[in-house]
Amino acid sequence: MFLGGSLGVVVSVAGPDTTAGTVADRMQLARTVADHAPFVRPSADEPHPVTTQDGVLSVWEYVATVPDRDFAAIGNAVARFHAVDGSTLRVGSAGLGPARVMADTSAWIDALAVGRRLRPADARVLVAVDRRLLGALGPPDPAATRLVHGDLYWPNVLLTPGGAVLCDTDEFGLGSPEYDVAYLLDPDRGGTSPSDVEAFAAGYGVPVPGASTRRLLVQRSHLTFTLRLAERAGTARERYWVDQWMAAWRRVVADGGTAIVPPRERSRLGQLGLAARGPMERRVADRSVGPH
């Protein structure tokens, strides 16, 4: 991402495996949502992606930001986003489809274990997590069709003089908006006080789930992220991050009160510590979690 504030644009460089068609679909999706809610727009001067030797580029309107968080304004922006009729949105020629957090995680874990994308001990740990979450939250509602951002954390909320503006279409889907609210107001990642949550709820117009429920919803979001990461992991670096997540999940299984914090948010020293302890913790978990 390259900011060009003086030019009024932001240039985004897509990942190496992302096609121009995929970027074009994301730009059109953002444009449609921005017609109804505070969301970043592709540049009118460069409405289509540009393919260069450095990758696929897209140009977006620049959004000037301010440092102060107005939680009532953020709540209002998120409410307007969730009010968009997701059933009418298209990604290319297809409908939007369910958000990742709405997946059947039990079947997903089984499929990854059978396909050897998860080690047996790791699969058992995630089965234990999945059962705990299903017992506390129940399964996701398959009939939920509201628009869900899917990755609503602070870098994807732009605070402007005129209110909040959201960005990033990568994880859009249909589902239950409470997952977005919980992810943004994660009680274990800091940055929000009870008064902030109250202000957000006032702007959002609907009560926010309590901290314990938000923690469970966030854990489910992280579980689906872990499964997708394991599903796609093909390099040593990607496997490293799967192992980091598994080290965090083993701590959650050992102590249900342990916060699940994304490994990338840990210090490099903390990441190395998890990697060094990983093999031993896997053996302990293998014995303590029980058969899959």
SS (HEC) of the chain:
CEEEHHHCEEEEECCCCCCHHHHHHHHHHHHHHHCCCCECCECCCCCCCEEECCEEEEEEECCCCCCCCCHHHHHHHHHHHHCCCHHHCEECCEECCECHHHCCHHHHHHHHHHCCCCCHHHHHHHHHHHHHHHHHHCCCCCCCCEEECCCCCHHHEEEECCEEEECCCCCCEEECCHHHHHHHCCCCCCCCCHHHHHHHHHHHCCCCCCHHHHHHHHHHHHHHHHHHHHHHCCCHHHHHHHHHHHHHHHHHHHCCCCCCCCHHHCCHHHHHHHHHHHHHHHHHHHHHHCCC
Find all residues with CB under 8 Å of 50, minimum gap 6, and list them: 56, 57, 58, 59
Per-residue pLDDT of the chain (292 residues; tens, 9 = 90+): 566 656 788 899 888 888 999 999 999 999 999 999 999 999 998 889 999 888 899 999 999 999 989 999 999 999 999 999 998 999 988 999 999 999 999 999 999 999 999 999 999 999 999 999 999 999 999 889 899 999 999 999 999 999 999 999 999 999 999 999 999 999 988 779 999 999 999 999 999 999 999 999 999 999 999 999 999 999 999 999 999 999 999 989 988 777 787 777 655 666 566 666 655 565 555 555 555 4
> Which of 2, 12, 14 has its CA nearest to residue 55?
14
CATH fold of the domain at 2-97+143-204: Transferase(Phosphotransferase); domain 1 (1.10.510)
Strands 173-175, 163-166: pairing kind: unpaired
Buried b (16+ CB within 10 A) or exposed e, 220-229: bbbbbbbbeb
> Which of 190, 189, 192 has its CA nearest to residue 200?
192
Domain boundaries, the chain: 2-97+143-204, 104-139+213-289
> Which of 92, 91, 100, 107 has its CA nearest to residue 221?
100
Strands 146-148, 55-61: pairing kind: unpaired
Is residue 200 exposed (0-12), middle (13-18) or buried (19+ Cβ within 10 Å)?
buried
CA distance 118 to 111: 9
CA distance 202 to 206: 7
| Residue-level pLDDT at 15 | 82
| Contact present, 168 and 191 (Cβ < 8 Å) | no
- Phi and psi angles of residue 34, each rounded to the nearest 5 degrees, phi first: -65, -20
